[in-house]
Amino acid sequence: MRVRSPIPKKHARIEIIPLIDIMFFLLASFMMVSLSQTHMKGIRVNLPGPNTQPQQNPNKDYVSIRVTEGGLVYFDNAPINDDQILPRLYEMHKANPDTKVSISAEQQALHGDVIRLLDRVRSSGLTKIGYQIKTAAATGAAGTIPPP
């Protein structure tokens, strides 16, 4: 015969509520620590005051050069003769060696004309050269081949 113990037998139980509380505490702690370790980096900007006048800079630091069909060259949408290109580039380099040059060409311009202009820009001493490129579909010109 079995005799039962007068002390009731307790079964082990895992309480979930304290476990959830601890997990939320750890999550909040890790979030606060990670946010405190983030360093905000930015660029200092000198904003103009209410009484400052805008600076007038006579030396332009950017020029756009365009080559069209037939080898015509435009400086900032103003046509220029072929023999005046190199002296004007030298003058720009003398005024500001960090002048930025943006070269673009129309779709029907010859590749050789663009390379000739690029060689002239390089020979003048200007080194900051960029190229404006558009896709054929973006130009919308007549005679473009539609994509397949």
Q: For residue range 18-74, list pLDDT tens digits in order.
A: 889 999 999 999 998 888 776 667 778 888 778 766 665 555 688 899 999 888 999
pTM: 0.52
Question: What pLDDT is attached to residue 101?
Answer: 92
Which of residues 86 and 142 earns the better pLDDT score? 86
Closest CA to 63 of 89, 81, 94: 89
Question: What pLDDT is attached to residue 77?
Answer: 87
Residues 6+ apart with CB under 8 A from 113: 67, 71, 105
Q: Does 148 have pLDDT greater than 50?
A: no
Question: What pLDDT is attached to residue 67?
Answer: 92
d(CA 99, CA 35): 42
Q: Output the six-digit token pair for 87.
A: 């002296």
At 79-97, the pLDDT tens digits run: 998 889 899 989 888 988 8
In the beta sheet, which residues pair with residue 112? Answer: none
d(CA 95, CA 113): 26
Topology of the domain comprising 62-134: Nucleotidyltransferase; domain 5 (3.30.420)
128-131 and 78-80 beta bridge pairing: unpaired
Cβ atoms of residues 99 and 128 within 8 Å: yes
Domains of the chain, by residue range, sit at 62-134
